[in-house]
């Protein structure tokens, strides 16, 4: 059982902002597009250092995405970030045609993902963005687990990748626990804890909750594998297949609707290759509401204890 220690609580949007700045220092083709909430998504760092490479387009997300396509077609690497409900959902057709059908290297940042957005309530909590973004041909979907990883993932998306990519991150400070020197590869899952009784495949902040759930279960003598599925598309088939074959039961955990998200992606794969019993932790076809992040996570079943409960449930169905 691997032990993870938090270095403190840091919002993943901060990691995103730092990542954009760091990537931009190494590549002057990188540009930022602003849709009015620059500071709130962490892009203020970039805008302050490179005002001539930061383009403000106002509260007009569709136009932002179209302009991103035009910039990418002209040799730039544009970064457009706003709340995921807007960057991914309001603009979906623009992303589908202008970015994905044209297959352009552009980074769409989905900030304020999940219910942990908190007090702003349902309108601003992106809970369907993974489902929609991963359905788009050519699109890559990345959802890192903490601030350090978000910074590293952002740099990877900009400087070691080519193509349309949606990067999802959150608002609330969450445990920052991954290493500065971690090996991060888009499309390659991280096994954070070894185990053979069942596997928890989690994404985003839910990875930390999964580790806590695994710790609790360990006290009952259960050895739980925890996979950080930081890339939802392309899904790491190898890691999922091994989990199904070697542990025989899977629980997925995500701050997203269970419809169409990480759990669906995993299920689509294993049902065709090595079916095992599964449980899905996520939003159950509901809108969120206002409240403090932790209380909301508790209320909607997105906590470590709920994940642990689902592991016990899936184990009862394990052949």
Q: Summarize as ranges the residues that interact with another protein (CB under 8 A).
A: 31, 52-53, 55, 57-58, 60, 62-76, 78, 93-94, 96-98, 101-103
Residue 286 is encoded by which pair of tokens?
């509901």
The C-alpha torsion from 213 through 216 and 220 to 221, rounded to 10°, is 70
How many other C-beta atoms can be found within 10 angstroms of the C-beta atom of residue 261?
26
What is the Cα–Cα distance from 246 to 240, expressed in whole angstroms? 10
- Smallest distance, Å, CB 23 to another protein? 18
Asked if residue 198 lies in contact with residue 245, where contact means CB atoms within 8 angstroms, the answer is no
Residue 253 is encoded by which pair of tokens?
């955990």
| C-beta closer to another protein: residue 61 or 279 | 61
| C-beta closer to another protein: residue 27 or 103 | 103
| C-beta closer to another protein: residue 83 or 94 | 94
How many other C-beta atoms can be found within 10 angstroms of the C-beta atom of residue 103?
13
| C-beta closer to another protein: residue 100 or 226 | 100
* Widest pairwise Cα distance in the chain: 60
What is the Cα–Cα distance from 220 to 98, expressed in whole angstroms? 52
| C-beta closer to another protein: residue 65 or 127 | 65
- Smallest distance, Å, CB 161 to another protein? 19
Helices 304-316 and 206-219 cross at an angle (nearest 10°) of 60
- Smallest distance, Å, CB 101 to another protein? 5
- Smallest distance, Å, CB 102 to another protein? 5
- Smallest distance, Å, CB 160 to another protein? 23
| C-beta closer to another protein: residue 42 or 78 | 78
| C-beta closer to another protein: residue 50 or 161 | 50
Residue 86 is encoded by which pair of tokens?
């807007």
What is the Cα–Cα distance from 169 to 14, expressed in whole angstroms? 9
What is the Cα–Cα distance from 62 to 60, expressed in whole angstroms? 6
- Smallest distance, Å, CB 69 to another protein? 5
- Smallest distance, Å, CB 59 to another protein? 9
In eight-state DSSP terms, residue 97 is I
Asked if residue 174 lies in contact with residue 208, where contact means CB atoms within 8 angstroms, the answer is yes
């Amino acid at each position: 059982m691997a032990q993870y220690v938090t270095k403190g609580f840091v919002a993943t949007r901060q990691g995103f902002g730092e990542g954009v700045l760091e990537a931009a220092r190494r590549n002057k083709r990188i540009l930022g597009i602003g849709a009015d909430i620059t500071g709130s998504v962490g892009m203020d760092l970039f805008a302050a250092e490179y005002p001539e490479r930061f383009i403000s387009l106002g509260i007009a997300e569709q136009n932002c995405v179209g302009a991103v396509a035009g910039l990418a077609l002209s040799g730039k690497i544009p970064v457009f970030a706003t709340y995921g409900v807007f960057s991914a959902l309001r603009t979906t057709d623009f992303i589908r045609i202008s970015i994905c059908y044209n297959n352009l290297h552009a980074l769409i940042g989905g900030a304020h993902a999940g219910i942990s957005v908190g007090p702003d309530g349902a309108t601003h909590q992106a809970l369907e963005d993974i489902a929609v973004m991963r359905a788009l041909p050519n699109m890559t979907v990345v959802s890192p687990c903490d601030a350090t990883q978000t910074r590293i993932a952002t740099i990877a998306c900009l400087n070691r990748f080519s193509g349309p990519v949606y990067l999802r991150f959150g608002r609330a400070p969450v445990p920052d626990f991954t290493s500065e020197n971690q090996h991060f590869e888009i499309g390659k899952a991280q096994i954070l804890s070894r185990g053979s009784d069942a596997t928890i495949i989690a994404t985003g902040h839910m990875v930390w909750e999964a580790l806590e759930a695994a710790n609790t279960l360990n006290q009952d003598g259960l050895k739980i594998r925890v996979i950080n599925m930081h890339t939802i598309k392309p899904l790491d088939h190898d890691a999922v297949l091994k989990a199904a074959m070697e542990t025989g039961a899977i629980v997925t955990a995500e701050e997203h609707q269970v419809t169409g998200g990480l759990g669906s992606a995993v299920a689509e794969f294993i049902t065709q290759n090595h079916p095992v019993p599964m449980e899905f932790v996520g939003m159950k076809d509901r809108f969120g509401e206002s409240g403090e992040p932790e209380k909301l996570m508790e209320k909607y079943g997105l906590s470590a204890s709920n994940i642990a409960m689902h592991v016990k449930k899936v184990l009862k169905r394990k052949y």
